[in-house]
Structure 1
Amino acid sequence: MNSKTQTTDTRKDRKPALVPKLRFPEFREAGDWTTETLGSLVTISTQKVGSNTCIPMSITSGVGLVSQQEKFGRIIAGNSYKNYLLLKQNDFAYNKSATKEYPEGFIALYVGSELAAVPNSIFTCFRVKGLSSAPQYLNYLFLGNLHGQWLRNFIEVGARAHGSLSINERDLLALPVPLPKGERSLAEQQKIADCLISLDELIVTQDRKVDTLKKHKKGLMQQLFPREEETQPRMRFPEFQNAGQWEETILGKMGELINGLTYSPDDVRESGLLVLRSSNVKNGEIALDDCVFVDPAIKGANLSQPNDILICVRNGSKALIGKSALIPRDMPLCTHGAFMTIFRAQAPQFVFQLFQTAKYQKQVAGDLGATINSINGRQLLKYKFIVPKSAEQQRIADCLTSLDALITAQTQKLETLKNHKKGLMRQLFPFMTVVEA
């Protein structure tokens, strides 16, 4: 073997240094990271509740441990309660049930100060040994699914025992955990955890702000539109206090329906005429992260216009029937599929808000029945509403549309924070080099 081949082989076998892309200034000269097995950092906890008084817990994937009372509205532990595994503050609970986001199971950190407990049938519990590692640091590794990347090498597809994944504890404890080296390891771990905890607090605050705005809009709509069996709203804008009674009308007198396009897989193209489907309606807005295109010259396509209201009228999921979104002015050339319809209204913003009311939702639910997953267009045009004169319609629409814009802006800010956290975690942890079996 010549020297050139030897050099090439040496480079091929050399593993990259284990170091995150981003480090805090005070740790940049602290050297490369290392890996330790999870088993060297934690110990399995098998202590059962017995005669202790504990809070029975359940788990929500991606969220963490929540009390059974909060999740189910009652405690479901029953007679098995005394055999539950006991949890103390900063203990971990590994739920061996597969979910979409965590197919190898979810590991949650218990942060409560009171004793808690989880079912011993589907949970493995463990706690950090002394000061071997910072629990919050490990928690963020598990939220990033470090354990799942490792355990998928050992879990047989479909291997389940009593509804849970068949996981060998030895395989779990063999998980390589990336850690900073040296005497300042714990300090760097905690610095990383504190940074992400602060970001999580911002996300929670922003999420509450969005939720508050949505609740405010819901309450406002209950005041601005007549309630069931009522013919007048509870609240009117000052300039319309003496504008006369609202009157009942049907949807068909407020606009027209535009039928959707029937197309086949052979008609689909990489680009061209966008076909809007149910997946393009999200939270009352048009989303373009899942697009289908057809030839612009296809026959039977009715082009959408700005302020058309896109409605889902047929779908495998009943929950999507009746969902709607306004076509914005900056949309690319588009039409809509046969399972959708367009309502082209004289007062589109007002009608769109009507579609968010309980009266509309009740009429949609009444049409679906036990087995029907569609709304008939002729029936949709017969939906009844109590409405004011056009000037008051526009005033209501303007108010609610500006509130929608505020909700959208705050929701986008929330998504930006979440994406920032994901990107930050990818830089703070050297993930992918430590999970190969």
Structure 2
Amino acid sequence: MKTGATKDKATKALVPKLRFPEFRGAEGWNERPLAELMSESRLPGSKGNVAKKITVKLWGNGVFEKNDSIQGSINTQYFRRKAGQFIYSKLDFLNQAFGIIPPSLDNFESTVDLPCFDFADELNPVFLLEYVKRRDFYERLGETADGSRKARRIHAETFLSFPIALPIRAEQQKIANCLSSLDELIAAQGRKVEALKTHKKGLMQQLFPREEESQPRLRFPEFQDAGNWKKMTLGTAANFYNGRAYKQEELLDAGKYKVLRVGNFFTNNNWYYSNLELDETKYCEDGDLLYAWSASFGPRVWSGEKTIYHYHIWKVVEQSGIDKKFLFIVLEHETERMKAKTTNGLGIMHITKGAIESWESLFPDLAEQRKIADRLMNLEGAAKAEAQKLKLLTVHKEALMQQLFPSIDEIKL
């Protein structure tokens, strides 16, 4: 009885949870190894370092021309690649380093570490790309034998041994068209977000004086004759309060107050707590302006309950005559300016409280500060709203893909 049930499961065609109306009565999807549907392409190309090369960017960012000045081995053999072929990185398969070669990169070349594949007529290239984009496909099939996520090379023969559940060509095309349309919406939304960010950055450069100048190039009409901005150090414009350094035994798994550390800006996990009652300057509350000691993070506005902040973070309290929102923008502006001056190429900059207090910046009168802050914050709000729409579109596509494809768990490996 058990043997028969196993056999039925192995031979049963698969059906996704969601199908387009015209295919709801169609046969189930049949399992096939990719080797029956694809073949590796090895058209000999250049040798040495003279090739016009392509590469695959991580995290599903597609196929691009590889521009580098690294001198390759004189014996390196490159292979010519054709538009429409599937390509992936042997080492970075788990990082979604795969894609379809676009027409603009026809006849470009890559080594065997970026193998390419031709398709049988019964397999739609876009369908395959969307199929392998699913996390449960590339993670499960790309992991090591013991189930770990350690990087390993996915050789061409290994990739071709991966199983795929395949519907008829017409259903493949319908799914490909649907998901491609969503990709176009996501790309357009992404461009909208970037355009708003670029606009804000450009406007900010216009609304703030350039170095060695005391007035901005662009000013609201009511401030055209307001005169020069006043130079002052950030330590004059605001008070920077150190957080508290904790001994390990003072950090609890549960307690009255959360202890905000730099890492908690990025995740709600791994919080520590404290029951210590401290000076009020050691707490941050909803709306407080914070700054991490690594300027790579820039200023942050705390959103949440009363919390103790760690000594790697400073609370920034504006002085009289300084608008808090404008101060936030100044900190952003000065941080970017200082990061641009770093020499490590990564924009990583660790600073001291004394150093940031000594930074000099220019400030207009309070009314102009508020006008500038309102305009830039409105743009920031618009960018965040559009970014949220982008996130929702991406989540919608991921959910739709889970419905349109059979679960990898149903496919025998």
Name the SS of the counterpart of 1:32 in structure 2. coil
Q: Which whole-Å deviations, capped at 9, do the CAs of 1:117-149 have from their partners, x for residues lacking one? A: 3322412221112x2211110011222252552
Is contact 1:258-1:343 (8 Å) kept? yes
Residue 262 of structure 1 deviates from its aligned partner by 2.7
List aligned pairs for 1:108-257, cutoff 5 A.
Answer: 108-112=99-103, 115-129=106-120, 131-144=121-134, 146-153=137-144, 165-180=152-167, 185-257=168-240
Name the SS of the counterpart of 1:248 in structure 2. strand
Is contact 2:51-2:78 (8 Å) kept? no
Partner in structure 2 of residue 295 of structure 1: 274
Name the SS of the counterpart of 1:140 in structure 2. helix
Is contact 1:322-1:361 (8 Å) kept? no
Q: Does 1:313 align with 2:286?
A: no
Q: 1:376 aligns with which of 325, 338, 352?
A: 352
Residue 377 of structure 1 deviates from its aligned partner by 1.2
Q: Does 1:96 align with 2:83?
A: no
Name the SS of the counterpart of 2:284 in structure 1. coil
Structure 1 residues 333 and 65: alpha-carbon distance in aligned structure 2, compared to 1, 3 A threshold? same
Name the SS of the counterpart of 1:398 in structure 2. helix
Is contact 2:54-2:105 (8 Å) kept? no
Q: Does 1:333 align with 2:306?
A: yes
Q: 2:261 aligns with which of 257, 277, 283?
A: 277
Residue 295 of structure 1 deviates from its aligned partner by 3.2
Is contact 2:207-2:218 (8 Å) kept? yes
Q: Which whole-Å deviations, capped at 9, do the CAs of 1:134-172 have from their partners, x for residues lacking one? A: 111001122225255224355998999xxxx44444332
Q: 1:57 aligns with which of 46, 54, 58?
A: 54
Name the SS of the counterpart of 1:325 in structure 2. strand
Structure 1 residues 67 and 143: alpha-carbon distance in aligned structure 2, compared to 1, 3 A threshold? same
Structure 1 residues 326 and 157: alpha-carbon distance in aligned structure 2, compared to 1, 3 A threshold? closer
Is contact 2:81-2:106 (8 Å) kept? yes
Q: Does 1:432 align with 2:408?
A: yes
Residue identity in the other structure for 2:34:
L
Q: Does 1:407 align with 2:390?
A: no
Q: Which whole-Å deviations, capped at 9, do the CAs of 1:367-413 have from their partners, x for residues lacking one? A: 9999x963221222221111111111111111111111011101111
Name the SS of the counterpart of 1:275 in structure 2. strand
Is contact 1:84-1:117 (8 Å) kept? no
Name the SS of the counterpart of 1:404 in structure 2. helix
Residue 116 of structure 1 deviates from its aligned partner by 2.9
Is contact 1:176-1:434 (8 Å) kept? no
Q: Which whole-Å deviations, capped at 9, do the CAs of 1:39-60 have from their partners, x for residues lacking one? A: 1001121112259x98521110
Q: Which whole-Å deviations, capped at 9, do the CAs of 1:300-353 have from their partners, x for residues lacking one? A: 782213332211104xxxxx545111224xx22323222111111142100110
Q: 1:391 aligns with which of 367, 385, 402?
A: 367
CA RMSD of aligned residues (A): 3.3
Is contact 1:91-1:110 (8 Å) kept? yes
Number of corresponding residues: 400
List aligned pairs for 1:11-26, cutoff 5 A.
Answer: 15=9, 18-26=14-22
Partner in structure 1 of residue 32 of structure 2: 36
Structure 1 residues 47 and 365: alpha-carbon distance in aligned structure 2, compared to 1, 3 A threshold? closer
Name the SS of the counterpart of 1:31 in structure 2. coil
Name the SS of the counterpart of 2:117 in structure 1. strand
Residue 433 of structure 1 deviates from its aligned partner by 2.4
Name the SS of the counterpart of 1:138 in structure 2. helix
Is contact 2:56-2:88 (8 Å) kept? no
Name the SS of the counterpart of 1:355 in structure 2. helix
Q: Which moved more, 1:243-252 or 1:305-314?
A: 305-314
Structure 1, unaligned runs of 5 or more: 1-5, 282-286, 315-319
Q: Which whole-Å deviations, capped at 9, do the CAs of 1:186-206 have from their partners, x for residues lacking one? A: 010111111110000011101
Residue identity in the other structure for 1:325:
R
Give the Cα–Cα distance (whole angstroms) in 1 for the partners of residues 260 and 340 of structure 2: 23
Residue 232 of structure 1 deviates from its aligned partner by 1.0
Structure 1 residues 19 and 49: alpha-carbon distance in aligned structure 2, compared to 1, 3 A threshold? same
Name the SS of the counterpart of 2:95 in structure 1. coil
Give the Cα–Cα distance (whole angstroms) in 2 for the partners of residues 257 and 159 of structure 1: 43
Q: 2:330 aligns with which of 318, 334, 354?
A: 354
Is contact 1:252-1:382 (8 Å) kept? yes
Give the Cα–Cα distance (whole angstroms) in 1 for the partners of residues 312 and 180 of structure 2: 44
Give the Cα–Cα distance (whole angstroms) in 1 for the partners of residues 254 and 14 of structure 2: 41
Q: Which whole-Å deviations, capped at 9, do the CAs of 1:57-100 have from their partners, x for residues lacking one? A: 1110221210124xx4x79778668x322222221112112376
Q: Please, what TM-score do these two structures have when normalized by structure 1?
A: 0.81
Give the Cα–Cα distance (whole angstroms) in 1 for the partners of residues 25 and 255 of structure 2: 50
Residue identity in the other structure for 2:33:
T
Q: Does 1:417 align with 2:393?
A: yes
Structure 1 residues 385 and 166: alpha-carbon distance in aligned structure 2, compared to 1, 3 A threshold? closer
Is contact 1:175-1:435 (8 Å) kept? no
Residue identity in the other structure for 1:278:
V
Q: 1:67 aligns with which of 56, 65, 68?
A: 65
Is contact 1:324-1:355 (8 Å) kept? yes
Give the Cα–Cα distance (whole angstroms) in 2 for the partners of residues 369 and 28 of structure 1: 58
Residue identity in the other structure for 1:312:
A
Residue identity in the other structure for 1:32:
G
Is contact 2:83-2:106 (8 Å) kept? yes
Give the Cα–Cα distance (whole angstroms) in 2 for the partners of residues 68 and 76 of structure 1: 13
